[in-house]
Amino acid sequence: MLIGEYTAEGVEAYINSQSREIAAVRYGTHGDLAFTVAHGYWPGELGPGYSDHLSRNKGEEVFVLYDETQNPKVPPPQFQFYRDGEYACGFHMYMYTWSREVTGPDAALVQADIEAAGIRNEAQRETAHLKSLTIIENRFDLALPMGQILHDLLPTALVHGH
């Protein structure tokens, strides 16, 4: 259900003002990239494991960057890449105290870059995250429009709790 246009801060305020658990997505485009940003309640609706088969057509690629900033357990950001409807590869973007494995049948797409950047042994969470983002940007020619994602008004829809 479309609820209007919101900034990241605005949709978080909207979600916090509700008396029920809701999840919303803000969405937009940047060049030939379409993106969504999820906000709010996620268990059973959003997050890792719920991205399978997002790309269904030959030649489609889906990149999932999952960063759960409000979880008190603070899991690391995760990256997942899907091609033609199938999981290709993924990894935790902070491997030092989490999984050090690059998963998926196409793990070799990023494996050498991760080793060269020293992400497995990087003890500083933010440094590992930034190195991982650099690998993703370079390997997949992917650059997220951070200003647009964080500050611009974007169409927003409820995806849970409406």
24-52 per-position pLDDT tens digit: 889 999 888 888 888 887 654 455 455 55
Q: How far apart are CA 88 and CA 49, in angstroms?
A: 13
* Top-confidence residue, 23 or 91: 91
Q: What is the pTM of this model?
A: 0.78
SS3 content of the chain, % helix, strand, coil (to 5): 30, 30, 45
Residue 138 DSSP label: H
Mean pLDDT lowest for which of 10-14, 83-87, 99-103, 119-123? 83-87
Q: How far is CA 145 from CA 26, 73, 126, 151, in A?
A: 13, 27, 19, 10
| Best CA proximity match to 160, nearest among 22, 15, 50 | 22
Confidence of residue 68 (pLDDT cuts 50, 70, 90): low
Residue 120: per-residue pLDDT: 93
